[in-house]
Amino acid sequence: MNSADFQTDMTSEAISVLICESSSVQLRILSEAVRQAGYSVQTANKAEDALTLLQMGTVDIFLTGIEVGAVSGLEACWSLKANSETESVYTIVITASGEDRRLEESLDAGADDFIRKPVNMTELRARLRAASRLVRMQKQFKRLAETDALTGAANRRAFMQYLEIQSQRATRDDIPLSVVMIDLDHFKSVNDTHGHATGDTVLIEAVKSIQACLRDNDMLGRLGGEEFCVILPGAGLFSAGIAGERIRAAVEAMTISTDEGVPVPVTASLGVASLTDGDLISAPDTLLQTADVALYRAKETGRNKVWL
C-alpha cells in the first residue's frame, strides 16, 4: 500500500458504500481503506444483513464477497437487481481464485463490476471512483426526471409516485395523510398585465415560499401551470388545515415587483383533503379529487382562503 492510498479522495464525498464480507478481518481492512478514501461506509458479514441495509435505500455502491453466509453474494445480487428500489445500486463482486464460474453468474445476475482477491487497494479505489462517476450521473438523471424545470418542485410523475407510496403506507400503518391543493388566484391577469416572464418569476417565488413552510417528509409538486399540491404524510385534516393557512399567508406575504418596480400582488386558494381513521377513500385519485372540490369551494367563495 503506498501513501496515496491513505489520502482522502475528495471526489468521492457523500457516496455511500456497503461492504459485505464473511471474514471479519477482511471486512475491517476493506472498510478502513474505503473510509479513508472518503466514502461513508456500512458493513455486514452476511448477505441477509446486507439486503436489510440495502432495502433502506441509502446505499450507492455494494461491495460484496461471493461466499457470505447462507444467502450467497450471488443471490444477493440477484434479489437486489430484481427489486426496483435497489436495482440501481452499483454492485462490485469480490472474487477469489477458483470462483470464476460463480463470478460469471454474479455478472449475469446483474453485478456491475468485480475485483479479485487479494484485493489491491489502489485498484479498489480506482474502481470505486469509476462507480462513483456512474452513481453521480444516475442521481443527476433521476433528479432531472423528477423535477419541474422552471420551479424545482417535484413534477407530476414524481408527485404521483410519492403519493402512491405514502397512501399505501398510511393505510397499512394506520397513520394520517393529507394533501393541500394550491392554485394561484387570477394568475392569467398577472401574465396579461406584467408579461409571461413576470408570471414565471411569480411561480418560482411561490414555490420557494411554499417549500419554506414544509417539513422533510412533505412534498410539493407542480401538477400543472399554476396549480400545485402538497403531500403531508402523518398530518390529519386539522394539521393540514394549519399547514394550508401557513402556506396561504406565505404566498400573500411575498413581495414581488416587476423590473420597473411595479408591485405584483399574489394570492392563492387552497383545498385540503385527508385520509382519516376508518375512511375508505385511500386511493390517491380520490384524495386529489376531494382536495380539488375543496379548492373549487375556496375559489367560489372569494379566493385567498383555505377550504377544508
- Cα gap 73→83, rounded to integer Å: 16
Picked from ligand GH3, Mg ion, none, the partner binding residue 188 (CB below 5 to 8 A depending on kind) is: ligand GH3
Query: Which of 62, 187, 228, 307 is close enough to bind ligand GH3 by CB under 6 A?
Result: 187
β-bridge mates for residue 231, sequence order: 179, 219
What residue has cell string 501513501?
3
Judged by beta carbon, residue 20 or residue 294, the one nearer ligand GH3 is 294
Residue 227 contacts which entry, Mg ion, ligand GH3, none (Cβ below 5-8 A, type-dependent):
Mg ion
Catalytic, 226? Answer yes
99, 183, 218, 292: which one binds Mg ion (CB under 5 A): 183
Pairing relation of β-strands 306-307 and 268-275? Answer: parallel
199 part of the interface to ligand GH3, by CB under 6 A: yes
Site for ligand GH3 in 124-183 (CB under 6 A): 150, 183
DSSP strand pairing (177-184 vs 227-233): antiparallel
Cα–Cα dist 91/219, whole Å: 30
Residue 62 lies near ligand GH3 (rule: CB under 6 A): no
Closest CA to 159 of 57, 260, 284: 284
Of 62, 90, 162, 187, which lies in the binding site for Mg ion, with binding defined by CB under 5 A?
Answer: 187
Reference 6, options 41, 40, 34; nearest CA is 34
Residue carrying C-alpha cell 381513521: 277
* 46, interface contact from Mg ion, ligand GH3, none, CB < 5-8 Å by kind: none
CA distances (Å), 52 to each of 20, 58, 79, 168, in order? 12, 11, 11, 21
**Contact flags string 220-249 toward Mg ion, x per CB under 5 A:** ------xx----------------------
Q: Tell me the catalytic residues.
A: 226
Can you give the binding site for Mg ion, defined by CB under 5 A? 183-184, 187, 226-227
Can you give the binding site for ligand GH3, defined by CB under 6 A? 150, 183-188, 191, 196, 199-200, 203, 225-226, 299, 303
